[in-house]
A and B are shown apart, each in its own frame.
Chain A
Amino acid sequence: MNEQTAPVTHEGERVLFPPLPYDMRRRSDAAVKDDALRAAVEAATLTKDTARKATFAEAFGERYDALRGLAERIKQHTLDHLDYYLDQFIDHAEAAGATVHYAADAAEANRVCLGIAEREGVRACVKAKSMVTEEVRLLEALQAAGVETLETDLGEFILQLDGDAPSHIVTPMIHKDRASVGRAFERELGAAYTDEPDALTAIAREHLRDKYRRADMGVTGGNFLVAGSGSVVVCTNEGNGTFCASTPRVHVAVVGIEKLVPTFEHAAVLLKLLARSSTAQPLTVYTDILTGPKRRDEHDGPEQLHVVLVDNGRTELLADPVMRDTLRCIRCGACLNACPVYRTVGGHSYGAVYTGPIGALVTPMLKGLTNYPDLPQASSLCGACGEACPVNIDIPHLLVHLRNELNAQRVAGRAERRAFKLYAWVLKKPWRYRWASRLVRFVLRRRADDDGYVTRAPGPGKGWTETRDLPAPAKQSFRQWWKQNKRDEPQRHRDTEVN
């Protein structure tokens, strides 16, 4: 078994926890040049994005936008009264026999889980996929304490085995191909090499069934916490979450506080959106509603249920009048699949657990804007993410907000600041603008090739033309053209479309 639990890049940098401040450029440049990676990620995300749209059109038709509005209001209402609903949840969960723990930060979340493991004499642990446990690095903490811990989601299992890191919040090994899985199974499990997905899955199944039986502790996340009943809702397609919550004696559910909903009715609305947004399914295959540990008269199930409520920066987000909207996120991954930047640079370029457009918002908020100054820029602001989001998070708007914050904190480089100063000075007087644009036109037209394209722009334009050509400006500016033409035959241009 691979003891290494913190995957690193070729440069020896931790994939999800790089040195800070993080420079996105290095990895995204390399990713863009990796044609196989780009093709794989692009194909997978495009398929998902198309399927998502089709399934919503079929199930909700024209009502879809209004439904997103309802989902937004449900999550926002719960967040606005989070203290109230949290109290309700805790009371009900305890009444059902669960033990509730409170983790102010990542370190405390890990301390709580290690404490449970120690008290219960846990030696082997199985773990379902969960973003919050990755955020607090629970796997590393458990392994360091000598608790043999295994990821059970097939993708995460493969990544753990191969010393690789997840790159998508729903389909973690989207960046990996079948041959690398075959090699990892051959090397780490002693299996005969195959690259057939069916056969590979069967190997993993056999290996993991034994682990489920032997584990004393199962760790899962939670997709929702239902305040009205004290239930944890866990969604998986493979059934590994159900195993982790059923076979071991102790079940620990580690859940962020933003997962609360008032009632099952509200959970139902979000469930309707979650699986359709993620994988175009009406529901995930296994939707488990867990309320307390197994009852005295039951024959299987965990004897203990621990719910670890995690804050880890969420209250700060809650107090932020703009960025708090990100707490509505139900981690469906639709914004990643819709994002042209994610498709091109892949998940590891984001240098953090949360990737894609939502990651570009959440990572700087949780880990410091100055530590991740590139992420809010990693968007073309095309708006696809916002349109894909089932809880109506206006991601582009929030990205712009973070860019403004960055500028306000003067994180932007000195050259950039000087350029903007010059730009402002030019714009202040019409004559300055006229002369400046004449100068730019003159320079660029002289550099243009025979086809009318500039392949190497001077000065600050250099970076832009490194990856594409710039069409040379027209001979005349629009203002000059207007001066000459507006009096001549105005009729002629009436039907011409102006672009």
Chain B
Amino acid sequence: MNWFKETLSRVKRGKKVDQSLWVMCSGCKEIVYKKEVERNLKVCPKCGYHFRIGAWERINMLLDEGSVVERDGNLAPMDPLKFKDTKRYKDRIEDAQKKTGMKDAVVSVEGTIHGVSVQFVAFEFGFLGGSMGSVVGEKIARAAERSMEKREPLIIVSCSGGARMQESMLSLMQMAKTCAVVRRLSEAKVPFISILSDPTTGGVSASYALIADVVIAEPGALIGFAGPRVIEQTIGQKLPEGFQRAEYLLEHGFVDMIVERKHMKDIIYRIIKLLTGGSYVHSS
């Protein structure tokens, strides 16, 4: 481990590390070997910190190889408000598309989990903070509708700062829209599993994400309505350690379980098996 100590001391002395090989863990602040993190599903081998991952990484991690077919990949954002702050929304979209290779902040697919067919939606935080605008809302709605039609469980992995400001009220209304379709899915008695990754806040947490049949959080994920900075500004004090983290929500009764990345696929599979294995069919 001499090379490691050497690297570490180089970093401490303020010298550059080769960023293609090393990465600093936000959990333990240690410099860790990138390849090792990647082999470990992007979880820090030292402290278990779950690095944020992209939509496709999530899909490849949870769905069976070769089973994945993308849906609604042709949906793209528009700029109905002609929104402009220091930069045009149109340009922000273009930049995000170039950066991520995606049209908007979610990828929607069908595929299998240990052979069980599911509808699956994953957020891409790299696309404007995973914010929910018209496209995200529509893709979630369509995925839920396919779930109903095919009677396949719906799984959404959220990673989002909330509603997209640049579509203002159209974004806010996606909260009501996603809840409306999820309600129908529930009445059709098809399971909906919501997975909360870091972060899940604002209009995403306050719509479909916390009202699912099953709510699962990744360790350490920030989950809440208001962002920590807004709360600190409002109440004028520092927030307690661990506030709004997955463990805090578990303690307060808002998530069913916290599941480490390496167990996620198996847990989802087992839950689907259990929830669809009912034998008592009551008639009214």
Q: Answer yes or no: do A and B interact.
A: no
